[in-house]
Chain A
Amino acid sequence: MNPMNYLYLSAVLFTIGALGVLLRRNAIVVFMSVELMLNASNLAFVSFADIHGNLDGQVMAFFVMVVAAAEVVVGLAIIMIIFRTRRSASVDEANLLKY
């Protein structure tokens, strides 16, 4: 199978993720979309590793996973706190940090 197809899939997933971040208000969904983008890039890395025949891309993918895991911990914690204080997980309502 043409490895380029994985790259196309990766691009599509990334776009879906980006659109999700931009269009959805629920923080959990936005978060999921971010994860989707990260994993899209992971897919791209692995594909490139396959195309070039070396392990650099795979190493990079592991890095991304680790960072994503750390991010999930911090991010979900923040979302939890926001939800507890505001009874809502809408990102548009959490707009105090302005001007």
Chain B
Amino acid sequence: MTDFNWLLALFLAPLVGAVAVLLVPKGADKLAKQVGLVVSVVVFALTVAMSLQFVPAEAGDFQFSFAYDWIPAFGVQFAMGLDGIALVLVALSTSLVPVVLLAGWDDVGPESRGSVKGYVALILVLEAAMIGVFAATDVFLFYVFFEAMLIPVYFLIGRYGGARRSYAAVKFLLYSLFGGLLMLAALIGLYVVSGDLLGTGTFDFTQLVGLDIPESTQRWLFLGFFVAFAIKAPLVPFHTWLPDAAAESTPGTAVLLVGVLDKVGTFGMLRYCLELFPEASTWATPVVLVLAVVGIIYGALLAIGQSDLKRLIAYTSVSHFGFIALGIFAMTTRGQSGSTLYMVNHGFSTAALFLIAGFLISRRGSRVIDDFGGVQKVAPVLAGTFLVAGLSSLALPGLSSFVSEFLVLVGTFERYTWAGIIATIGIVLAALYILLMYQRTMTGEAPDEVREKVHDLRGREVLAIAPLLVVIIALGFYPKPVLDVVNPAVDRVMQSVGATDPAPQVGGPVAEGTQQ
């Protein structure tokens, strides 16, 4: 089994599954969902089996790598490999898909515009694209997946979403395509530049790292990539597609959209912007930091002001993506490890929030916060899980987001004191938006409509949410498995950028090392 191509198998499995789902006869909706669920669980099991063979000590290198010639004329390869950062993000994607399918079992039914098996197949295709985008080690391949992800999501929003689904879907598509176009231009530029410097042009990531690209060229190329990622992440002011898309899509789609898809933006910043264009990244750092800090505060304030449950959660994510970008561009190991961990933790906590809010909304038939109240009385388990998910979102110590948020803050603070201080104020606003939402929906007297329509979580829903909460709590107290694989990869990024951590004022441990 040593030469078994784990990564390729992992990438192909959901595609095969999607085809299988499409072959299910018309009308056999339940069978389609069951096949989809089984496939996603198998993919997750594959991920676990693969992760067990991952060598944490060498997490800075790409493991399970393979490369096939794809378009030899342009040096394009179908090349994949995982470093520590990519591994945890792939694991995040493959673990969320079964949860989403299980939680959204009844979100799509015969009354929907699209077919059920189409929905399941689209999600599996999306899963394959997500694995591909994180695993690609060829920049062109990355770009292909980056754009390919849009297709399933466009249909997921546009066919299965809420009332204003086509508006949201088109907005999402156009916004992302615009970013993708800039990235394509930069990509071609990168190819040409690599041709000038290396003799033959290449898209191979490992060859492109450390390329001595002239500074002005670097800046233009950086901007092309960065804007695409900033739209995808999204950073303020490119964020307005997110609330629309998240609010109009089904909860499951929203989870994959905000929980995983948007991470491609921040992942891209860390992997591609920083490592390919180190000087340009340093040059752009002040602007990015300002955008990130503004995003943290702005997103939080907007979340406080929302009257729509799903839009509120979407805006909290805008704030959180500010934190992630902040940590990445702080150029410290703390900040970048924290950001990577944040991507994972945010995936889980937002997933829980969106899914539970989805349960609540589908019961009550309204997304407006003021239509709720006193839910804790009629549905204590639902309220309890919602509170835990919310507390994770506000980064309560002991839950997973805290570790990452604190690392981001400390990593920022040690280099950019003021950015760190302002970002820290975000934690007060986070408490406000979560607890205000909880107070308005869950406490007080229950209106009649809530009393009649809202019932507590059922077995399937508990089964879907429980793993998320377990992970949230477990990673809060024991983030070691993730940190073990992330830290070496971050060290590599830091090396590529040529950044080092600031030294403490006095004393402290002298030995440099990431492992105990």
**Do A and B come into direct contact in the complex, CB within 8 Å?**
no
